[in-house]
Amino acid sequence: PSWDVNTIRAEFPILHQMHHDQVPLIYLDNAASSQKPRMVIDALDDYYRRYNANVHRGVHKLSEAATEAYEGARVKIKKFINAGSKREIIFTRGTTESINLVAQTWGRTNLKPGDVVISSAMEHHSNIVPWQILAQEKGFTIKYLPVTGAGLLDLDVLRGWLTEGNVRLVTVMHVSNVLGTVNPVAEMAKLAHEAGALILVDGAQSIPHMPIDVQTLDVDFFAFSGHKMVGPTGIGILYGKRHLLEAMPPWMGGGDMISRVRLDGSTWNDLPYKFEAGTPIIAGAIGLGYAVDYLTSLGMESVHAYEQQLTAYALDRLAEVPGLTVYGPDASQKGAVAAFSYGTIHPHDIAQMLDADGIAVRAGHHCAMPLHDQLRCGATARASFYIYNTTAEIDALIEALYKVKQAFSA
């Protein structure tokens, strides 16, 4: 009841335009990227207008201001996920880069023939391909947890594989970008640790939508992107437990990541800078700090509660549409995502027709081809929701879907 969606919508300039100059925009592609509030847009603008300079280098006033804002953002993010130290917060370009960083540093150092990495068949390509690339070189085995008919991971299979030994890493998504499944990562972390393995969690689809406490979850690595959580594109985070990050070699070499460079060899800077080679994404990091401020002001518990209501409403309404099948678990175990098929109508046709009505959804394999193989369909249409969406927008989606059916049966 305290959720004032109109006040929230007022903060997002992009939502107040007419789509194709004709119909109001209904943005339901939030799993791909969220929209940005004024506060974040203004923070980027303010940085470039007032204190644009490189960080960690200059002794001049602008560089000091930029460094303070950049490092201030790191502290905001540390608090947002309750990391133990700001040294555990590495700025990257996003989830994809964060996972590749772990593969290329921790993975490259520690994985050898005979070792096993457990992932799942519902992963985004960004948590499959980096491990496949490394496995080709290092000769370890990747096993993929199957997805049950209900759209869940089977923890008994995980338990079985863990007891077989040699498992070094479990790397799974927290929330599926297609099924919406919320995986029990705290429990999976416990199981992995009992077997002497580490756990990496892809939090791209959880951190925008629910409170995250990396210490309570007890995950070793947690990767996410700024742009799905009202922040800018081009910035993301790798959280890692400090003792693991300390032991990992650097990945990219260059300025800022070194302590001393000599022609016969170099030594590395302290955390987190060891992993931040070159001029960082200064504006993006500052913007992400403001995104975190914005979400914190709403309260992540409230964000989650509102989205659960909205998702339950959407699933109820979608269930009314004849011939439409939503994939994944029911609302009680699902994030704010509804991927669906609609009779024999191709998802791209659905998305194109909805777009004409001002409704933005995504169609395709959503970078989860193996999952779509399991679902036995090459593509789905997907509506995904966020803090500024309304039940009226969902009603508009349903109405538009009836129009799609009419057009295709005419």
User: Active-site residue numbers?
Assistant: 367
265: which residues sit within 8 A by CB, 6+ positions away?
none
10 binds ligand 7TS (CB under 6 A): no
Q: Which of 15, 121, 186, 367 binds ligand 7TS (CB under 6 A)?
A: 367
Interatomic CA distance for residues 255 and 242, integer angstroms:
22
Given 37, 94, 272, 284, the residue binding ligand 7TS (CB under 6 A): 94
Query: Quick one: 85 or 132, whose CB is closer to ligand 7TS?
Result: 132
Write the burial class of residue 6 (CB in 10 Å: 0-12 exposed, 13-18 middle, 19+ buried): exposed
Contact segment (CB under 6 A) with ligand 7TS among 68-76, 179-187, 265-273, 362-370 equals 362-370
Report if residue 96 touches ligand 7TS, rule: CB under 6 A: yes
Binding of residue 100 to ligand 7TS (CB under 6 A): no
Q: Pick out residues in 16-35 that bind ligand 7TS (CB under 6 A).
A: 31-32
Residue nearer to ligand 7TS on the CB measure, 32 or 53? 32
Check residue 264 and give left, alpha or beta (phi > 0: left; psi -120 to 50: alpha): alpha
324 binding ligand 7TS? (CB under 6 A):
no
Among residues 88 and 97, whose Cβ is nearest to ligand 7TS? 97
Region near ligand 7TS per CB under 6 A, out of 55-63, 92-100, 149-157, 328-336: 92-100
From the list 20-28, 135-143, 242-250, 359-367, the region that binds ligand 7TS by CB under 6 A is: 359-367
Asked whether 175 and 100 are in contact (CB, 8 A), the reply is no
The contacts of residue 83 (CB under 8 Å, 6+ apart) are 77, 89, 214, 215, 239
> Do residues 363 and 29 lie in contact, with contact meaning Cβ atoms separated by under 8 Å?
no
Helices (H) then strands (E): counts for the chain: 15, 17
DSSP 275: G
The answer to whether 180 contacts ligand 7TS (rule: CB under 6 A) is no
**C-alpha closest to that of 57 among 70, 73, 46, 44:** 70
Regarding 336 and contact with ligand 7TS (CB under 6 A), the answer is no
- How far does the chain reach from its first CA to its final CA, in angstroms? 43
181 binds ligand 7TS (CB under 6 A): no
Report residue 132 as tokens. Answer: 């496949």
The CB-of-205 to ligand 7TS minimum distance in angstroms stands at 5
130 near ligand 7TS (CB under 6 A) = no
Q: Which of 30, 34, 95, 181 binds ligand 7TS (CB under 6 A)?
A: 95
Max Cα distance, the chain (Å)? 74
Rounded Cα gap, residues 213 and 392, in angstroms:
33
**Which residue from 103, 173, 199, 200 is in contact with ligand 7TS, where contact means CB under 6 A?**
173
Is 171 a binding residue for ligand 7TS by CB under 6 A? The answer is no
Would you tell me which residues interact with ligand 7TS (CB under 6 A)?
31-32, 94-96, 124, 126, 173, 177, 202, 204-205, 225, 362, 366-367
